[in-house]
Chain A
Amino acid sequence: MTRIAIDPITRIEGHLRIEVEIEGGVVKDAWSSGTMFRGMELILQGRDPRDAWIFAQRACGVCTTVHALASVRSVENALNITIPKNARLIRNLIAGIQYVQDHVIHFYHLHALDWVDVVSALSADPRATAELAASISDWPTSSEAHYTGVQQKLKKFVDSGQLGPFANGYWGHPAYRLPPEANLMAVGHYLEALDWQRDVIRVHALLGGKNPHPQSYVVGGMAVGLDPNSPTALNARHLSEIAGLFARAKDFVDRVYIPDVLAVAGFYKDWAGIGAGIGNYMAYGDFPQDETGDPRGFYLPRGRILDRDLSTVHSVDHTGVAESVAHSWYGYPDGDGTLKHPWDGETNPKYAGPKPPFETLEGHDKYSWLKAPRYEDQPMEVGPLARMLVAYASGHQEVQEAVNTVLGVLGVGPEALFSTLGRIAARAIETQLLAARLPVWLSDLEANLKTGDLAIADVTKWDPSTWPSEARGWGMEEAPRGALGHWIVIKDRKIENYQLVVPSTWNGSPRDEQGRRGAWEEALIGTPVADPTQPVEVLRTIHSFDPCMACAVHVFDPAGGSSVEIRVV
């Protein structure tokens, strides 16, 4: 039995440690540990609920904006505020382009290097690479000259001994299967995606002043001056600029990202049988298409799939969510094994791990800063795969068509979705659907403006003197990484309690009071590991969830330090 630790395991936003036990070349057991704590929930107590989103948004700068949206929704839910149509559509545009940018960044910049051997790209033939690229897409950079340039740039990196973003890969590992030309093509698109993401996210600047952390939300709607004919408001020029950015976003997704995912997946079909995990999937649903707040009107539906059974979609209500701290570095006065709904949630840090730097968490009953969220006492996986499965099983026509097309191209059945590869495919499908949806929502906004409706916020409850002395709310959002919930308790116009239950807490959850593993831990069981000193296979499954630890743990490991055996940069 070999036990290895990988810390940090992510290419961005560290603070996640995975320990696995390997026997006979496969993972036998796994532990997921969040290693950072910031205390955001404690900082929010006592503050003005209208300010909460500005604080909460800072939970993460990668999937920026999602916590702002969940936060304003929690206050609007508590105060029973319905936002105007224009505000609803602008929020969809901000959240939608966030998905598209975030998913593409994940594939190329955070995940591709688990599948793409950068050093192998040096031995590729640029002309053959151009031919390969042209055979899967009519994207205009598919020329010999372009790939010669990419290869020279890469060679400069390698020769300088400073690989920069490509440092610390397991280059040459036998688990890498792409031919050199496919590796070079992927590296070329990696570099193009860097420029593309910087361009398309300017939508956030146009609608929110900046990215990261767009700053135009308010409780009740949006703080966006809106008038197509005003020189000082969001006007016709801005709307046209946004339309152009959406077109460029969709173009890259359709002609680069999707063909690349399909091409790379074709070499790794065995990963459709690895990394399945717990088999329970949950989505809160998002992208409201009317003003009722009824989840049945969401573009991405709400629901749960249990035990991989796609014949039934189970309901979701926020009252079913509760958190255990049995194996987390927190204490509940009435027992750490208690399941607490977030309105009654407590954040009492109680570090009980080894003194850093340490080599292992083995033998420590409590091993993470993450709590263990459960839905009706069951562990859940959240994220693009959960959303696509819930939509597929709910009869969402566009999702069914897209999923069936991808399964057909890869020549695999629906059971292949429950896997590491399935997560990657679901993320790509979702990106394509949303990139196609954004122009529709923009048209809806323009059509509504044409009717003369310029309303952007419901300000009738802006003044706190209009509020009840006590109110409680739930704000949900489907962040790119999965179901996100903010729970708020307001008392005497101040925040009495505030709890975040975020996607990476669901997926990265430690064991619960019954000893059941979280989604990442379970997904690793059975993963083959050819060389325990170079566990690229473990990275593939964990990264397929798009882990982001910044928001999963809300305080800094008070002891600081780092026990780094294996670093992933």
Chain B
Amino acid sequence: MIEGALATIAVGTCAFDGGLPAAACGPTGAIGAKDLVPGATVINLPGCPMNVQNLTATIVHFLTFGEWPAVDTLGRPLFAYGQLIHDQCERRAHYESGRFVLDWGDEGHREGYCLYKMGCKGPETYANCPTARFNDGTSWPVKVGHGCVGCTMPRFWDQMSPFYRRLPTAPGVASDVTADQIGLTLVGAVAGLAVAHSVARHVRGKRQRQGPTDEVATADGAEGIQA
């Protein structure tokens, strides 16, 4: 059916790359639609859940312009997945000023400070959650107070977890990143040069801003939350 279709819209992260059943130690061999039928035209709308506005807009784009929207190398429409969450985030000014949430419910949490130190994956995640928002534009997780988990990115269940660990200072450089993770990061980077470029850019930005006391490690290998 997929082969004969004008295009297939893969809705959600499971249709994109196998999603949760494809996470490490999953016994099922789940894969995404594009991997199942490599020759098919597949528009990927990852996210868990996908934002329904992006599905409507993808179809309306076809009806309006007579062609599918422009996509990145992972088949994701640029109008929805063309910009980092971090670059659209309403908490971004706090990041620039070095104001971070350090504990759930602290003053910074109430004042809307940046969630980067609580593990937010917005600096490495491409999606329009901050602007499109969910449920008729009502809200999105970072607005409420929880970090992004990176659910629109390839293999995010493994690549973005542990979800509360602060992003490493540079891919493949941090001491607690395993060889496997470096390998997969590189695969991701090859798949999308724009991703790699942008990650590097933001990682550089972070490194310049972090003082040495930022790097206190706790017993589980996670980076500390003391500033």
Contact = CB atoms under 8 A, between A and B. Distances in A.
B30 A233 contact: no
A494 B141 CA distance: 25
Interface in B127-159: 133-136, 138-147, 149, 157
A184 B219 CA distance: 64
Contact of A208 (B28, B104, B144): B144
A209 B145 CA distance: 8
Interface stretch (B18-26, B68-76, B185-193, B201-209): B18-26
Contacts of B140: 205, 209-210
Nearest to B118: A223
Q: Which of B27, B49, B147 has most chain A Cβ within 10 Å?
A: B27
B182 interface: no
B164 interface: yes
Interface string A293-330: 00000000000000000000000000000000000000
Contact of B111 (A61, A232, A555, A556): A232
A202 B134 CA distance: 9
A122 interface: no
Contact of B144 (A61, A234, A454, A555): A234
Contact of B21 (A39, A215, A457): A39
B49 A212 contact: yes
Interface in A472-513: 493
B103 interface: yes
B220 interface: yes
B163 interface: yes
Contacts of A231: 112
B105 interface: yes
Interface in B91-140: 103-105, 109-112, 118, 133-136, 138-140
Interface stretch (A40-48, A123-131, A378-386, A537-545): A40-48
B110 A233 contact: yes
Given A223-B104, A459-B105, A462-B103, A42 B25 contact: yes
A233 B112 contact: yes
Contact of A456 (B19, B105, B143, B222): B105
Nearest to A494: B220
Contacts of A456: 104-105, 109
B163 A205 contact: no
Contact of B105 (A46, A212, A226): A226
Given A202-B138, A233-B110, A51 B144 contact: no
Contact of A205 (B25, B134, B142, B157): B134
A48 B104 contact: no
Interface string B156-169: 01000111100000
Given A58-B48, A212-B49, A464 B219 contact: yes
B219 A465 contact: yes
A338 to B, nearest CB: 22
B138 A455 contact: no
A38 interface: yes
B213 interface: no
B220 A457 contact: no
A42 B144 CA distance: 31
A46 B25 CA distance: 9
A50 interface: yes
A210 B49 contact: yes
B132 to A, nearest CB: 11
Given A39-B28, A45-B25, A51-B161, A201 B104 contact: no
Contacts of B175: none
Contact of A48 (B24, B30, B136, B162): B162
A140 B147 CA distance: 43
A202 B135 CA distance: 6
A213 B26 contact: no
A526 to B, nearest CB: 38
B218 interface: yes
Contacts of B220: 48, 464-465, 493
B139 A205 contact: yes
A218 interface: yes
B20 A55 contact: yes
Given A38-B20, A225-B109, A50 B141 contact: no
Interface string A220-256: 1111111100111110000000000000000000000
A215 B144 CA distance: 9
A216 B164 contact: no
Contacts of B145: 216, 222-225, 233-234
A201 B109 CA distance: 24
B198 to A, nearest CB: 23
A18 interface: no
B141 A43 contact: no
Interface string B51-90: 0000000000000000000000000000000000000000
A395 interface: no
B163 A201 contact: no
Contacts of B104: 218, 220-223, 456-457, 459, 462
Contacts of B133: 205
A459 B103 contact: yes
A463 B218 contact: yes
A31 interface: no
A308 B111 CA distance: 54
B109 to A, nearest CB: 5
Contacts of A207: 144
A558 interface: yes
B143 to A, nearest CB: 6
Contact of A230 (B111, B118, B163): B111
B227 to A, nearest CB: 15
A84 B104 CA distance: 12
Given A39-B27, A464-B220, A232 B110 contact: yes
Contacts of B136: 198-199, 202
Contact of B134 (A209, A227, A230): A209
A54 interface: yes
B161 A47 contact: yes
A205 B135 contact: yes
A156 to B, nearest CB: 20
A37 interface: yes
List the 3 closest pairs (A to B, CB-CB), nearest first. Answer: A232-B112, A209-B141, A465-B219
Interface of A: 37-40, 42-43, 45-48, 50-51, 54-55, 58, 61, 84, 198-199, 201-202, 204-213, 215-218, 220-227, 230-234, 349, 454-457, 459, 462-465, 493, 555-556, 558
Given A48-B163, A216-B145, A555-B28, 17 more contacts: A38-B30, A43-B20, A45-B25, A47-B161, A48-B161, A50-B164, A205-B138, A206-B138, A212-B49, A215-B149, A220-B104, A224-B145, A234-B144, A457-B103, A459-B103, A555-B27, A558-B29
9 contacts: A38-B26, A39-B25, A39-B27, A47-B161, A209-B134, A209-B142, A223-B145, A224-B146, A556-B21
